[in-house]
Amino acid sequence: MSNEDFKPVLLARQGKPNSHKLETYKADGGYQALAKALAMKNTEVIDVVKASGLRGRGGAGFPTGLKWTFLPKDVSGPIYLCINGDESEPGTFNNRVLIEQDPHQVLEGIVISSFATRTTTAYFYLRYEYGRCYRVLKDAIDEMYANNLLGKNILGSGYDLDVHLHRGACAYICGEETGLIESLEGKRAWPRIKPPFPAIEGAFRRPTVVNNVETMACIPHILNHGAEWFMSMGVPKDPNNPRDAGSYGPKLYCISGHVNKPGLVELPMGISARDLIDKHAGGVWKGRKAKAVVPGGISMGFMSEKELDTPLDFAGPGRVGCLGLGTAAVIVIDDHTSMVDVLYNACRFFAHESCGQCTPCREGTAWSTKILERIRDGRGKLSDIDLLLEISGSMGTIPGTTICGLADGAAWPMKNAIHKFRPEFEEYIQSGRRSESPALAGSH
Ligand SMILES: Cc1cc2nc3c(=O)[nH]c(=O)nc-3n(C[C@H](O)[C@H](O)[C@H](O)COP(=O)(O)O)c2cc1C
Ligand code: SF4
């Protein structure tokens, strides 16, 4: 399906009057997918989701149906589904819009996914700062209980499910799946060492699936229209790469930064950053040019201007040295902006958000922030550039020195900024000038 023929799927109801109410959702065909799923075997639902090629929208792009099959088959006792609505990746707001505009679409996906995974208790972990989402979700869940869509014997099927809405603990690390589980259990959100993975030992030490809000929103549509329909959108798997699982379905792209029209757009996976900026965000603001673009949240690193034709699918950003597609939150940086300042801002964020358990992450994020502070103060040394590269090369799950991926996300903006914009760092240091943008409050 071409981008021109594409009609929004996940945002189809956005902006309709009372789009958040059960009545309007049902009038638009809502909860028909649930009725269909409940008439199937749970394993058949998993098969459809597997066949669709749906990959998780929370950042890592793990195949959703496959993740569900990792749950032990012969387990007695509870299995949990945790919905990851922590959404703290800088530049990312697609979950917020989905919840505020169409909470029942997400909740229908949750009930179907819970049924598929044999879950009878699901937890919706919601970013604390999302007050409006909280109120909208709470009302929607109440509506569901009142209409036999939650609770006992849902739609007469014999299936029972409770959904608990849990407000998050205000930290980026609460979005990491095992940090989320710890936080849900009432503890500090310190990620756990894996294995065991949550499918074997997750919330309350029980088998658990963690899935993102947008992943859940895709599920009812896959049940309604079928796996083939989902696979008709996006980028097929690369036949020459057995590890490529393809990038199927519609995707929400957040666009922010130096553009004329920031916002959220839905398109088949694989649009380029250039088309997103020019065709969907009104171009770079003030008649300027893009210098760098973040492909999917700041932790994915940067694409340079000449890399903007890269498709924003699961494989594209990695081909130009970025960490991945991440949350598909595109942040545009114009050619009047200093990459030293941009990198300082990113490092400062990760230093603030590191949970501190792993020395390379705790020290590396703080040290890189201090180095950039020194550079911005006119006291940098040329050797600082390689020092930043050395620090970034030694922290993360990829070099195998940390428990979770926050450190990889902190390392990638450093690596990309220096590899792709090194002359700018050199010129900045050699000039000895001080940054015109003030040091940010709370920096180290
Ligand atoms: C530091 C960090 C923060 C994360 N934050 C989020 C988040 O806010 N929301 C999210 O869905 N996934 C987040 N993730 C990814 C989750 O660990 C997990 O992969 C995801 O929730 C799985 O859902 P999915 O398979 O549906 O994508 C984060 C990962 C890391 C390392
Ligand atoms: S990598 Fe960083 S955030 Fe993740 S567990 Fe280690 S110290 Fe905490």
Q: Answer yes or no: do 347 and 406 share one domain.
A: yes
- The protein residue whose alpha carbon is closest to atom 23 in ligand 1 is 211
pLDDT single digits (tens) 197-234: 999 999 999 999 999 999 999 999 999 999 999 999 99
Residue 288 lies in a domain: yes
Number of structural domains in the chain:
3
Q: Answer yes or no: do 90 and 129 share one domain.
A: yes
Q: Answer yes or no: do 267 and 388 share one domain.
A: no
Q: Rounded to whole angstroms, how far apart are CA atoms 226 and 249?
A: 11
φ/ψ of 147, rounded to 5, equals: -120, 25
- pLDDT of residue 116 exceeding 60: yes
Whole-number pLDDT of residue 439: 57
- Percent share of the chain, pLDDT over 90: 95
- pLDDT of residue 441 exceeding 70: no
Whole-number pLDDT of residue 242: 87
Nearest ligand by distance to the CA of 300:
1
φ/ψ of 258, rounded to 5, equals: -85, 60
Whole-number pLDDT of residue 60: 95
The encoded tokens of residue 75 equal 């387990």
Whole-number pLDDT of residue 444: 42
Q: Answer yes or no: do 426 and 344 share one domain.
A: yes
pLDDT single digits (tens) 293-335: 999 999 999 999 999 999 999 999 999 999 999 999 999 999 9
pLDDT single digits (tens) 7-33: 999 999 999 999 999 999 999 999 999
What CATH number has the domain bearing residue 192?
A: 3.40.50.11540
The residue among 299, 315, 334 that closes a domain is: 334
Q: Rounded to whole angstroms, how far apart are CA atoms 75 and 73?
A: 6
Answer whether 0.95 is exceeded by the pTM: yes
Residue 3 lies in a domain: no
pLDDT single digits (tens) 26-45: 999 999 999 999 999 999 99
Q: Rounded to whole angstroms, how far apart are CA atoms 298 and 91?
A: 7
Q: Is 353 in the pocket of ligand 1 (CB under 6 A)?
A: no
pLDDT single digits (tens) 381-428: 999 999 999 999 999 999 999 999 999 999 999 999 999 999 999 999
Burial class (CB in 10 A: 0-12, 13-18, 19+), 242: exposed
Residue 5 lies in a domain: no
Whole-number pLDDT of residue 442: 44
Among 173, 349, 392, which residue has the most ligand 2 atoms within 8 Å of its CB, making it the best to mutate? 173
Q: Rounded to whole angstroms, how far apart are CA atoms 439 and 103?
A: 40
Q: Is 178 in the pocket of ligand 2 (CB under 6 A)?
A: no
Q: Confidence class of residue 438 from pLDDT cuts 50, 70 and 90?
A: low
Nearest ligand by distance to the CA of 361:
2
* β-strand partners of 235: 247
Q: Answer yes or no: do 292 and 351 share one domain.
A: no
Q: Confidence class of residue 89 from pLDDT cuts 50, 70 and 90?
A: very high
Q: Which domain holds residue 295?
A: 247-334
- The protein residue whose alpha carbon is closest to atom 18 in ligand 1 is 177
The residue among 334, 363, 385 that closes a domain is: 334
Residue 8 lies in a domain: no
Q: Confidence class of residue 188 from pLDDT cuts 50, 70 and 90?
A: very high
Task: Output the average pLDDT for the chain.
Answer: 96
Q: Rounded to whole angstroms, how far apart are CA atoms 230 and 201?
A: 31
3-state secondary structure of 342: helix
Ligand 2 center–CA 86 separation, angstroms? 17
Q: Rounded to whole angstroms, how far apart are CA atoms 18 and 70?
A: 38
Q: Answer yes or no: do 62 and 205 share one domain.
A: yes
Q: Answer yes or no: do 326 and 357 share one domain.
A: no
Q: Answer yes or no: do 259 and 185 share one domain.
A: no
What CATH number has the domain bearing residue 273?
A: 3.10.20.600
Whole-number pLDDT of residue 443: 43
The residue among 275, 308, 334 that closes a domain is: 334
DSSP H helices, 130-191, are 131-146, 177-184
Nearest ligand by distance to the CA of 64:
1
What amino acid occupies position 388? L
The encoded tokens of residue 310 equal 């890269």
Please answer whether residues 191 and 403 qualify as being in contact, where contact means their C-beta atoms are separated by less than 8 angstroms.
Answer: yes
* β-strand partners of 67: none
Q: Answer yes or no: do 254 and 224 share one domain.
A: no
Q: Answer yes or no: do 265 and 375 share one domain.
A: no
Among 212, 365, 412, which residue has the most ligand 1 atoms within 8 Å of its CB, making it the best to mutate? 212
- pLDDT of residue 440 exceeding 70: no
- The protein residue whose alpha carbon is closest to atom 8 in ligand 2 is 355
* β-strand partners of 267: 251
What CATH number has the domain bearing residue 390?
A: 1.20.1440.230
Q: Answer yes or no: do 144 and 252 share one domain.
A: no
Residue 115 lies in a domain: yes
Residue 11 lies in a domain: no
Residue 77 lies in a domain: yes
Residue 14 lies in a domain: no
Q: Answer yes or no: do 173 and 260 share one domain.
A: no
The stretch 125-144 carries a mean pLDDT of 98
- The protein residue whose alpha carbon is closest to atom 22 in ligand 1 is 211
